[in-house]
Amino acid sequence: MSKLPTHIPVIAIDGPSASGKGSVAELVAEALGFHYLDSGAIYRIVAYASKEQRIAWNQAEAIAALVSQLSIQFVHGEILLNGANISMLVRSEEMGRGASEVAVHPAVRNALLDLQKSFRKAPGLVGDGRDMASVVFPDAILKIFLTAGVEIRAQRRFEQLRNRGLDANYETILQDLQTRDLRDSQRSAAPLKQVQDALLLDTSDKTIQQAVDFVLDAYQECLNSYKKT
């Protein structure tokens, strides 16, 4: 019986906007007692901080320089930037668009790489984003590409915003998601894609719990495979 890898295990969950990967990743982390990295939130934070400093989202070098000044913490589901709770501010649709725009810049992605890797702590980490498996944690013990049809994702985001008491328009959300999908998949730096050894998880007809169970079962199979070799 071989031993498990000595490095800290990572479950990497990638996928497009509004696919539900954040909710799934957070619940998987909770079930396993692992740490959780919401890389999408980090890019939203960078977009927010850039706007606060009046730095346009196409000014790559200025944004990359700003990254070193940011102190980011995730505490009990809340997002803290330099000690201030900005959770609601960065969860807006505007900051979602901003995250997609700043993420296209290689300089910004490189500046954030060490920060993201620093979340890898014992006993393990579940990270979700666009390039968790391809760039940030290519040695992840389990890689998942979580997706759903764009119309379904738009409807989910629409309902989510309405439940928060926010104004929302389905057609606008659908068009925005289609634009983000295109931008994220065609960018030169770490494009959104399913890596070769990632499992495909289409949640179009699945509940969040069913998706969570899929990931947990796959992780257990990974552990079992190590024990058998």
Give me the chain's average pLDDT, please: 91
- List, for residues 144-198, the tens digit of each pLDDT value: 999 999 999 999 999 988 898 888 899 999 999 999 899 888 887 788 899 999 9
Average pLDDT over residues 218-226: 90
CATH superfamily of this structure's domain 10-228: P-loop containing nucleotide triphosphate hydrolases (3.40.50.300)
Contact 49, 98 (CB under 8 A): no
- List, for residues 58-113, the tens digit of each pLDDT value: 999 999 999 989 998 887 778 999 999 999 899 888 998 999 899 889 999 999 99
- What one-letter code names the amino acid at 162? R
- The residues, ordered by sequence, that sit 6+ positions from 106 with a Cβ below 8 Å of its Cβ are 60, 188, 189
**Helix, strand, coil % over all residues of the chain, rounded to 5:** 50, 15, 35
Rounded-to-integer distance, Cα 229 and Cα 224, Å: 9
